[in-house]
Amino acid sequence: MAVAATRERPIRGRSLGSFSWDRFTPFFLIAPSIVLIAIFVYAFIGYTAFISTTKWYGIAPDYTSAGLTEYIDLFGLPRFQADVSNTIEFTILFLIACILLGFGSAVLLDQHVRGTIFFQNIFLFPLAISFVVTGTVWRWIFNPNFGINLLLEDVHLDFLKSPWLADTRTALYGLVIAAAWQMSGFCMAMFLAGLRAIPDELREAARVDGASEGRIFLRVILPLMRPITLSAIIILGHISLKIFDLVYVMTFGGPGYATDMPSLYMWVAVFRQNLYGRGAAIAMVLLIMVALLIVPYLVWSLRSEDER
Amino acid sequence: MSSKWTRRQFVKTTGTAAGALVLGGAFAEFLAACASSSPTTSGSGSLEIFSWWTAGGEADGLAEMFKIYQQKYPGVKIVNAAVAGGAGSNAKAVLATRMQGGKPPDSFQVHAGQELISTWVKADKMEPITSIWNSEGWDSVIPKDLKTIVSKGSDVWSVPVNVHRGNALWVNLAKAGSSITPGTGNNLDAFLSALGKAKSAGIQAPLALGSKGNWQVTMLLENNIVAVGGAEFYRGLFNGKSGWTDNNVKSALTYIKSMLNYVNSDHTTIDWDQAAGRVQAGTSVGTIMGDWAKGYFTANNWKPDTDFTGIASPGTEKTYMIVCDTFGLPKGAPDRDNAINWIKVCGSEAGQAAFNPKKGSIPARTDVPASIFDSIAQKFIAEFKTDSLTPSIAHGSAAPEAFASGVNDEMGQFVQKKDVNASASNIAKLADQYLK
Amino acid sequence: MSTAAAVARSPFRPARLITYALLLLVAAFYLLPIYVIAVTAFKSFIEVSHTTPWQLPSAPSIDAFGNAFTTLAPSFFNSVLLVVPATLLSALLGSLNGYVLSKWRFRGADLVFTLLLFGMFIPYQSILLPLVLVLQKIQLYGGIPGLILTHVVYGIPITTLIFRNYYAAVPTEVIEAARIDGASVLGIYRHVLLPISMPGFVVVLIWQFTSIWNEFLFAVTLTLPDQWPITVALNGLAGSLLAHYEIQMAGALLTALPPLVIYIVLGRYFIRGLLAGALKG
């Protein structure tokens, strides 16, 4: 009996033809969320979009229209160009690192080893530490003269040494490692919940049929992880696009623009430079990037659930 | 109809009741606060002071001023709304949101000059304090150049509480050869050659630099411009009399480029305090930084003029680069009278005498007895009276922050690419955009 | 007990050893920075230096913890008052939304889901001002209740996402069966889904508790000083000019304790096979 996750056909109502207000319960349940999101997200996005077309510079609002000048200026700025490429590179690396580390740890923990709970909590602990302190500590660790390079020398792994945060070519990797350290524990939790939700009967049935552990893993377990991977990608993606505190404390975008991110630049533009128009434009560009990348992925994923 | 409550109903009702209690309580407090608005001699109501002085000597200094205020007005409740973040980054964000949202504090800390003028004054959010300035007689004790920095037109907009010096060189006396100690030819060329000698004597990185955030390099730029072009030329950059395309700017950049040959390789990953740490450890001989570096050394048990000393940064003798904290009066301050009294305390001799020794700065008033300060501060106090005063770019006095931030970015690029012409031209473009 | 578990019993099979070795390696990676944080927290101000992050303190002291505690303690209660309602409410909303969106395929359900999710990506710095203005209009600016509302609203997308995908794994037949038995929409939720929702709640509670507990931007902007949560006090430990890293680190360890307790308590609920009971036939 197939129990795999499926996109269901609509649940038929009661077959006994009597009218009931209960039909509308789903709408009432979801309505508060729709209203709240409509106001606090979409109305605000509209506001931000409007501001991005103004000349607002300074504390006092200035709604004179500037058309698309902010956007045009933005893409001509070396800092913003670096931001866009940094955020794409960071997101890809961060996603890969977290999912590999998270899923890998979950698989390891699912092996019924002694001390699972202990390891589980160690892997989750970084999530609880404030970004500010995470940034400070990793800044020290990635100092080329005093941090992890010293340890690597001690264990004769000198070839792994790197200028880390002191060099524009390697600084971003430092940021990725620090961010993955903080977030992969949550990925692990998600995958672990998913792995634990797979009924033993499924694995048993496959074993009885003569499948090896490896094939069970590839053919039974991995496909069931797809919805969780979708969630993980979306969650990690949104963290990556909005990453701020970690960058602020660890590098403040440096050296040069090597680790600068749009949300850091947005913060500087709005709260340091009082360039509200520019800040809003950066926010809109971020949202458009999301709309172009994440949304199609989401839609594709939802559709392919349908087909299974 | 069952009279028994379901769990959901119970939770909903108690939740609403609790919510109503909280909101009602808050509303009641609000009413009470409104009622107590008539000033008495002991004062009443509250005083909310916004700053970024949350820890260490700064918090101690602020606490001293609160003490003085409380003694004079025991009936006032002081609310310390300090929000930390280097140079007020978080505080400014919160402040902006509050001011725009119509809930200003009673007074807030702000750097003297453009940080206040081109942000808050321009947006019409401040009340001038000219009448307070005159009634307290500050003209006779606060230098005229400083008053100019905090004024626009004929109005004064904030009262300076302290003065930090941005153009200072701090040296490890044990390590510094005779060529870097005070009294010798104070100019950039001599400095560079002294650094060279230190390097050949075995000190890898004699000049300590922490450039995370890039503003520290902007400080090098402004100090060097003064060294190369003089205080008048520097001031002229902000009132149109000098041009950013002048060779002085390029020369200042070139000197930075030479200095970079003597700095620690990890400078982009550390901040000014860790650079000062290098000086204390002896791995560097000196660092160019504002006089808050002195606070670092003394907090780490070093004695002024015994273990370390501070002099004007190379080539900038007779100039005092101002980094100055001030307090102003926002429009619509909830307790206006208390706020005005606070401004008076800030500008008073007692207030500044209590605040500055703890903060590590020197008073803006010239009549505070110098004996309560350490030897380096005493030297600076004497120099402050006669030096030419220049406003700092990096610390919000000389130019709007849009310009300062842009320069920081450009200096971050300069440190990597070392292209004097490109950076000079980019800075000139920023000047065209934001300084006109 | 499944035969797989029985087979894997022996602790010394090579596969087992490799598993342990890998786990220890990963654990070392996660513990390395924690070591630095802990070691720094026990040092004195003068001893702390970025040049010696790995060194053990020469004269370990708990002064930093004492300092941090006195600064953090007053706002602790504010944070608790914030996190508990906000987490529970947003988890409940997410669960209900996830239920509706995964089991009740009304026209446009996918569109609603996509629109809800897109809301996750809005950068908070850019909406601070309108948020403050709206909260002022409804009299919730300046205190914890407004912050609770904010976190509940901005938590809706992620909690909905997690629950929706979790419930998607529950077979429709189960729901249909309950329907035919005469259960109402809410009844199905209460009697069928809620009992097996624990792992979903665990993940959501871990996430929301941590995010809201450690969140700084809204905390500092939307509340007035007397209601500041603990993150603002923690930030204040940093100081603006002279950084006391040891107090900062001690403070970070202290503020990390409540979430850690939550992880330990909730971690027990990663139980295998909760969905097994939902299968029929």
CATH code, C74-239+255-278: 1.10.3720.10
Is it the case that residue A4 has pLDDT exceeding 50? no
What is the residue-wise DSSP string for chain C? --HHHHHTT-TTSHHHHHHHHHHHHHHHHHHHHHHHHHHHHTS-TTT--TT-TTSPPSS---HHHHHHHHHHHHHHHHHHHHHHHHHHHHHHHHHHHHHHHHH---TTHHHHHHHHHHGGG--GGGGHHHHHHHHHHTT-TBSHHHHHHHHHHHHHHHHHHHHHHHHTTS-HHHHHHHHHTT--HHHHIIIIIGGG-HHHHHHHHHHHHHHHHH--HHHHHHB-GGG--HHHHHHHHT-SSS--HHHHHHHHHHHHHHHHHHHHHHHTT--TTTTGGG---
Instruction: List subunits contacting chain A, requiring 3 or more Cβ pairs under 8 Å.
Output: B, C
How many angstroms separate the CA atoms of B400 and B419, rounded? 25
Q: Which of C149, C184, C240 to mutate to test the interface with B (most CBs of B within 10 A)?
A: C240
Task: Tell if the CB–CB gap between C129 and B100 is shorter than 8 Å.
Answer: yes
How many whole angstroms from its chain centre is CA A269?
24
How many angstroms separate the CA atoms of B338 and B344, rounded? 10
CATH number of the structural domain spanning residue A290: 1.10.3720.10
Which tokens in the block code for residue B210?
């922490």
Across residues B258-262, what is the average pLDDT? 96
Is it the case that residue C10 has pLDDT exceeding 80? no
Task: Tell if the CB–CB gap between C232 and B82 is shorter than 8 Å.
Answer: no
In a domain, A43, yes or no: no
Average pLDDT in chain C = 86
Across residues B208-219, what is the average pLDDT? 95
Q: Where are the domains of chain B?
A: 46-164+323-388, 165-322+389-434
- Of the candidates A34, A203, A231, which has its C-beta nearest C4's C-beta? A203
In a domain, A25, yes or no: no
* Mean pLDDT lowest among A29-38, B19-28, C23-32: B19-28
Average pLDDT in chain B = 88
- CB neighbours of B33 closer than 8 A, spacing ≥ 6? B45, B46, B334
| Domain extent for A145 | 78-307
List the one residue out of A231, B334, B133 whose CA is nearest residue C204.
Answer: A231
Q: Give the pLDDT band of residue A85 (cuts 50, 70, 90).
A: very high
Strands B162-165 and B362-363: antiparallel
Q: Do domains B46-164+323-388 and B165-322+389-434 have the same CATH topology?
A: yes
How many angstroms separate the CA atoms of C105 and A11, rounded? 7
pLDDT digits (tens, 9 = 90+) for A159-193: 888 899 999 999 999 999 999 999 999 999 889 88
Across residues A128-141, what is the average pLDDT? 91
Alpha-carbon gap: B142 to the closest alpha carbon of chain C (Å): 25
Task: Tell if the CB–CB gap between B274 and C224 is shorter than 8 Å.
Answer: no
Is it the case that residue B18 has pLDDT exceeding 60? no
**Topology (CATH level 3) of domain B46-164+323-388:** D-Maltodextrin-Binding Protein; domain 2 (3.40.190)
Whether the CB-CB separation of B306 and B374 falls below 8 Å is answered with no
In this structure, whether the domain defined by B165-322+389-434 belongs to CATH 3.40.190.10 is answered with yes
pLDDT digits (tens, 9 = 90+) for C234-265: 888 876 677 889 999 999 999 999 999 999 88
Q: Within an 8 Å CB–CB cutoff, is residue B120 touching chain A?
A: yes
Q: Within an 8 Å CB–CB cutoff, is residue B426 touching chain A?
A: no
Q: Which of C12, C34, C159, C165 to mutate to test the interface with A (most CBs of A within 10 A)?
A: C165
List the one residue out of A269, A303, A300, A304 whose CA is nearest residue A286.
Answer: A269
pLDDT digits (tens, 9 = 90+) for C130-159: 999 899 889 888 889 999 999 999 999 999
Asked if this assembly's ipTM is beyond 0.90, the reply is no
pLDDT at A157: 87
Chain B residues lying within 8 Å of C243, measured CB to CB: 271, 273
pLDDT at B2: 42
- In total, how many domains does chain A have? 1
Chain B residues lying within 8 Å of C145, measured CB to CB: 19, 22-23
Which tokens in the block code for residue B76?
């006032």
Across residues B216-229, what is the average pLDDT? 96
Task: Tell if the CB–CB gap between B122 and A59 is shorter than 8 Å.
Answer: yes
List the one residue out of B390, B428, B112 whose CA is nearest residue B235.
Answer: B390
How many angstroms separate the CA atoms of B110 and B126, rounded? 12
